[in-house]
Amino acid sequence: MELRDLRYFVAVAQHRSFSRAADVLQIAQPSLSEQIRKLEEELGAPLFERTSRGVVLTDAGEALLPKARAVLAQADIAVETVRMVNDGVAGSLTLGFIDSAALGIVPPLVRRFNAAYPNVRLHLRELGTRQQLEALEAGDIDVGIVRGPVWNAAVEGERIATEPLVVALPAGHRLAAGEAVHLADLRDEGFITYPADRGAALYEETLRLCHEAGFDPRIVQEANEIATICALVDAALGVAIVPSSVTVIAPSGLVYRALEPAAALERWAVWRAGAQTAVVRAFIGALRPESRTSSRAGSA
């Protein structure tokens, strides 16, 4: 028994006529009658009774009809599911992201993607940039949101945001009264940042900016999460250079001031080069309304 046979049977049962069913199915009536006859022979029971007013279902036909419809419905669902997966509108996608991206970049991106592709199951993993690159190589995540640019020939990427850096200060700090802080004025301050071995771009950018301002930062505290860094500043244990998105974290003992000279970090979405699934392509498409630069992240 084939699905085609069940479709023919359901069409005849629905229209109560071989001729009308044949027209709907766009096949010749003799061919339809022959297929139904073969189906009846295979099942060992007549499915229709021919009358002067058309055809009616036999008891066997009545028993078969709901089962046939259920089988055909499941088959249609299976076909549609495959098509949706192939078109990138169903399946699953694992998205990695750095902690600070959870504050301003990931939420609107996830909302936009879920609205466009409600049948895709999105799994989120908070990981550092280095961990995300390793997870991409291992196939543990499909797309990563990292600080960039990332010079790695194994990945491709798109810049999705450029985020200004600001200075986080204890509310009672001597420099908190102004609207901006000159980095050189922080040369005697203790800095709070990510651990050096984490490979975080914010740590490296903090060192670079301080060096350009003529001093090496004195790091007094380290933390693995941006929220913890802010909490340590709130406790007046030091100052920190942070992305502007973290200003949503606003305890009473903490203030943010513009950094002079101005500096920023890029946020990139990255994925394995040459290994795009349909779902990954769909996610990349969801990035594009906010993307300004597209390139291979491994190129200099």
Q: pLDDT per residue over 217-252, tens digit each?
A: 999 999 988 899 999 999 999 999 999 988 888 888
pLDDT tens digit sequence for 183-209: 999 999 999 999 888 767 788 899 999
Predicted pLDDT at 52: 77
Q: Where are the domains of the chain?
A: 3-86, 91-157+267-295, 161-265
Of residues 220 and 78, more confidence is placed in 220
- 124 pLDDT higher than 90: yes
What does the alpha-carbon distance between residue 267 and residue 162 come to, in Å, rounded to a whole number? Answer: 6
- 281 pLDDT higher than 90: no
Predicted pLDDT at 88: 66
Q: What average pLDDT score do residues 19-48 get?
A: 92
- Provide the residue count of the chain: 300
Predicted pLDDT at 277: 76
> Does the fold of domain 161-265 match that of domain 3-86?
no
| Sign of the dihedral through C-alpha 47, 49, 50, 52 | negative
Choosing among 2.40.37.10, 1.10.10.10, 2.60.40.3880, 3.30.70.1560, the CATH entry for 3-86 is: 1.10.10.10
- Residue whose C-alpha is closest to residue 120's, from 270, 275, 283: 283
Distance from CA of residue 215 to its chain's centroid? 41
| Sign of the dihedral through C-alpha 80, 85, 86, 87 | positive
Mean pLDDT of the chain: 87
CATH code given to domain 91-157+267-295: 3.40.190.10
- 161 pLDDT higher than 60: yes
Greatest distance between any 2 Cα atoms in the chain: 103
Q: What average pLDDT score do residues 33-44 get?
A: 92
Predicted pLDDT at 294: 40
H runs (alpha helix) in the chain: 3-15, 18-25, 29-43, 59-86, 101-104, 106-116, 129-138, 201-212, 226-234, 278-287
- In terms of pTM, does the model score above 0.85? no
- 112 pLDDT higher than 70: yes
- 276 pLDDT higher than 80: no
- 275 pLDDT higher than 80: no
- Does the domain spanning 161-265 belong to CATH 3.30.390.50? no
